[in-house]
Amino acid sequence: MNIVVCTKQVPDSAATLKVDEQSNVSWGDAPLVINPWDEYAIEEAIRLKEKFGGKVTVLSVGPEQVKEALKQAVAMGCEEAVLIWDPAFDGSDALGITHILAQAIQKIGAVDLVLFGKQAIDGDSGLVPAGVARRLGWPLMSYVARIDELSAPQISVTRALEQGRQSVTSRLPAVITVVKEINEPRYPSFMNIRKASKLPIPVWDAAGTGVDVGKVGRANAAAQWIKVFAPPARTGNVELINGDSPQAIAAALADKLMADKVI
């Protein structure tokens, strides 16, 4: 199995988003981490490799600092890592990112499966995996909670939907996004941390990946973020209900809701 997993470096979710009066978004000094949803994709990719053989390559589009996220993925068990970056990529929208990733996946060649987390916790669009699948012309299975069977050239998965579960069979190569129900990500092993610290991480630029610079970067972003702002603080009365026990508090709350005709 030739598996690719894509990851984005994001600010730690505990950090506070700062927005100034000109709508400039900043994460301040927030520590940067692997997008938490991607840890499940990385874990699943490694499990598939351990079961079926082959290798896992982790990819990320981003500046030099993103190498830290890639090293973390290698420390979990990915064999290879590639950073894809060129100053021309700066300010790309999701459409631009999908072009860059699809080009890199084609450059790797003979890829069987591409895994993603279901979304990034900062951009939150969930667009990238579908865009990559579309550009590659491969099927996409989103919200995968279990890989039931993998027997090339076929894969069967269970998707977690709000209404229930859906079993899907598809041909390979394919793209999947995973939900956290799929596994429990492992901690990096000491051996792999050492390996990651020594592994050279190549940087593929626009020319090296065949990226059309007319499709990426701020100037070519189809979607522009016009304004980013923190929601206004809530106003209104807040009444705290106290009581001697959870039962007494629940009873007082129920009385209050009935008196206000909420229930």
| 7 near ligand FAD, rule: CB under 6 A | yes
111 lies in the site for ligand FAD, by CB under 6 A? no
DSSP-derived 3-state class of residue 117: strand
60 binds ligand FAD (CB under 6 A): yes
Report CA 229 to chain centroid distance, whole Å. Answer: 23
As measured in angstroms, the least distance from the Cβ of 190 to ligand FAD is 26
Among residues 3, 4, 38, 133, the one that binds ligand FAD under rule CB under 6 A: 38
Contact 26, 49 (CB under 8 A): no
- The yes or no reply on residue 25 touching ligand FAD (CB under 6 A) is yes
Contact residue for ligand FAD among 20, 29, 124, 239 (CB under 6 A): 124
Q: Which is nearer to ligand FAD, 94 or 113 (CB)?
A: 94
What are the φ and ψ backbone dihedral angles of 39, each rounded to 5 degrees? -60, -35
Query: Residue 122 carries which side chain, given as an amino acid letter?
Result: D
Closer CB to ligand FAD, 123 or 249, in the complex: 123
Q: How far apart are CA 78 and CA 45, in angstroms?
A: 8
Quick one: which of 36, 54, 63, 126 contacts ligand FAD (CB under 6 A)? 126
- Would you call 212 helix, strand, or coil by DSSP? coil
- For the CB of residue 68, give the shortest distance to ligand FAD in the complex, in Å: 14
Question: In angstroms, what is the minimal distance from the CB of 71 to ligand FAD?
Answer: 15
Q: How far is the CB of 131 from ligand FAD (least distance, A)?
A: 8
- Residue 125 within binding range of ligand FAD, rule CB under 6 A: yes
Beta bridge mates, 193: none
Nearest to 1 by CA among 184, 190, 147, 120: 147
| Site size toward ligand FAD, by CB under 6 A | 31
E strand intervals along 63-111: 80-84
Considering only residues 43, 103, 129, 136, which one is a binding residue for ligand FAD as defined by CB under 6 A?
A: 129
Burial of 149 (0-12, 13-18, 19+ CB in 10 A): exposed
The footprint of ligand FAD on residues 75-104 (CB under 6 A) is 92-94, 97, 101
CA angle 192–193–198, rounded 5-degree value:
95
Q: Which of 102, 103, 112, 117 binds ligand FAD (CB under 6 A)?
A: 117
State the distance between the two ends of the chain, measured CA to CA, in whole angstroms. 56
| Of 215 and 249, CB closest to ligand FAD | 215
Can you tell me which residue has the tokens 């993603």? 116
**Selected binder of ligand FAD within 223, 252, 254, 257 (CB under 6 A):** 223
CB contact set of 115 (below 8 Å; sequence gap of 6+): 3, 4, 5, 6, 41, 42, 44, 45, 175, 176, 177, 178
Binding site for ligand FAD (CB under 6 A): 6-8, 25, 35, 37-38, 60-62, 92-94, 97, 101, 116-117, 119-120, 122-129, 221, 223-225
